[in-house]
Amino acid sequence: MSLGWSLGRIAARLGKLVGAGDAGVDGVTTDSRTAGAGDLFVAIAGDTYDGHDFAEQAIAAGAVGAIVAPGRSEVEPRIEVPATGDALLELAAMRREELTVPVLAVTGSTGKTTTKDMLASAIPGAWASPASYNNEIGVPLTVLQTPSTARALIVEMGSRGRGHLAWLMPAVRPDVAVITNLGVVHLETFGDIATLADAKWEVVEGLTDRGVAVLPADEPRLQRDHPGVTHTFGVNTTADVVARDVTFGVDGCSRFTLDTPVGERSIALQMPGVHQPSNAAAAAAAALAIGGDLDEIGRGLAAATGSRWRMEFHRGRFTVVNDAYNANPTSVEAALRTVAELPGRPIAVLGLMAELGGISAGEHTRMGELAAALGYAAVIVVGEDPGLASGAGAIARSVASADDALELVAGLVREGDTVLVKASRAVGLERLAETLVELSVSRSGSAA
Ligand SMILES: Nc1ncnc2c1ncn2[C@@H]1O[C@H](COP(=O)(O)OP(=O)(O)O)[C@@H](O)[C@H]1O
Ligand SMILES: [Mg+2]
């Protein structure tokens, strides 16, 4: 980062300066451990730590000043502001105003990180959110860290309810806003799907003048008017950008024809999942919206690789699909359908989908029913279960722990089968998935 700002200039916009204000500010950090020369430290009070306790440390490490709440730190130089979180967003807004390259925002219930990664691959030279930096800290830091050489900025944006994105939008002000989908995710937070749609729509309301909204063609709740332009995307449907003739390989990766207003390309993805053609179409539509070259987009999509823990395929004597990182009805459905597409018998080890509120029982039952309808050989349900087993019926086996699940899978898995491991993070099935991978490569002799 090389912001080229001064403390005095920032104070003039944000609050009251205490101490000398002529120091140059080249970067912004909220983490005292990574603070260095030229950085401005912003003290954020989190759940576990309060940044105000680390302001001294940041200055000692070379930070040129700190943004703090009044009365919370005596460190100098400091800029006192009523709310340090708002100040961080305001700093990002300052940076945003300086940017002349296209800015793209990606939100939605699922697929944000994947679509962001695909988009980053489709726009060479773009700066994109590191990991899942998508909240009120990660979003402004992403914007602030944009290198001056970036060809575009891609920001992943999460939403925790009405008003959340609206609060973040001035820091991003995208020229292109993507909503990947609306799904049954965190409905406990949103209440109902209409509120969820309104909450995501805030990204469109935050567009620059004549900005482009990239929206799923098949989502009626997002068919709304706005002052800018809408480009739609979809799979096997009518849209501006469509993935059609989708087929899947044994590794769960898709091939399809990408149909766009400027031509067609054949695409083979490296990221497994039945949901990936949709994410790729969204990414392609967004890249085209900023004038991307279709060949470059096609190459970028084909080269994109996923982040850890998202449907990791491990092929041994049997295949393990480790998707233990998170689970909600949309992503469980995508994973169940992906694994059912593969050769060999599909087996699912499933656990609780957290944060579903009043629809929890119904959605767990629906997932169990889906597994049965897709022809799963077994559904092993680990721990708390609002309805998976009852939905899956005869193929369900309920166990108390991951160890019990391991024993059961080891006993019933055959060569060529695929075992999907999926639950909310809190259920902790990552270890089980890893042990199953070891089992799949270590087992000798032919399985039954
Ligand atoms: N378009 C999609 N439709 C349904 N499920 C999806 C889609 N994209 C991703 N998923 C599921 O959501 C999980 C998380 O994907 P990710 O890209 O990290 O989403 P996010 O950043 O929105 O949390 C994936 O492992 C997959 O199971
Ligand atoms: Mg994410």
Walk me through the domains of the chain, giving residue ranges and CATH numbers: 5-83 (3.40.1390.10), 99-303 (3.40.1190.10), 312-442 (3.90.190.20)
* Residue 307's pLDDT band (cuts 50, 70, 90): low
For the Cβ of 345 lying below 6 angstroms from any atom of ligand 1, the answer is no
Q: Give the ligand with the smallest distance to the CA of 110.
A: 1
- Statement: residue 448 has pLDDT above 50: no
pLDDT at residue number 215: 98
What distance in angstroms lies between residue 106's CA and the mean position of ligand 2's atoms? 10
What distance in angstroms lies between residue 110's CA and the mean position of ligand 2's atoms? 8
- Statement: residue 443 has pLDDT above 60: no
pLDDT at residue number 325: 83
For the Cβ of 279 lying below 6 angstroms from any atom of ligand 1, the answer is yes
pLDDT at residue number 445: 40
Q: Which residues surround ligand 2, an ion (CB under 5 A)?
A: 112-113, 132
What distance in angstroms lies between residue 78's CA and the mean position of ligand 2's atoms? 33
For the Cβ of 385 lying below 6 angstroms from any atom of ligand 1, the answer is no
What distance in angstroms lies between residue 1's CA and the mean position of ligand 1's atoms? 30
In this prediction, residues 317-327 reach a mean pLDDT of 90
* Residue 446's pLDDT band (cuts 50, 70, 90): very low
In this prediction, residues 99-110 reach a mean pLDDT of 96
What distance in angstroms lies between residue 154's CA and the mean position of ligand 2's atoms? 13
For the Cβ of 334 lying below 6 angstroms from any atom of ligand 1, the answer is yes
Q: Give the ligand with the smallest distance to the CA of 312.
A: 1
pLDDT at residue number 142: 97
Q: Give the ligand with the smallest distance to the CA of 138.
A: 2
Q: Give strand pairing partners of 232.
A: 215
Q: From the centroid of its chain, how far is CA 156?
A: 7
Q: In what order do the strands lie in the sheet with 103-107?
A: 126-128, 152-156, 103-107, 176-179, 212-216, 229-235, 241-248, 253-260, 263-272
pLDDT in tens, 231-288: 999 999 999 999 999 999 888 899 999 999 999 999 999 998 889 999 999 999 999 9
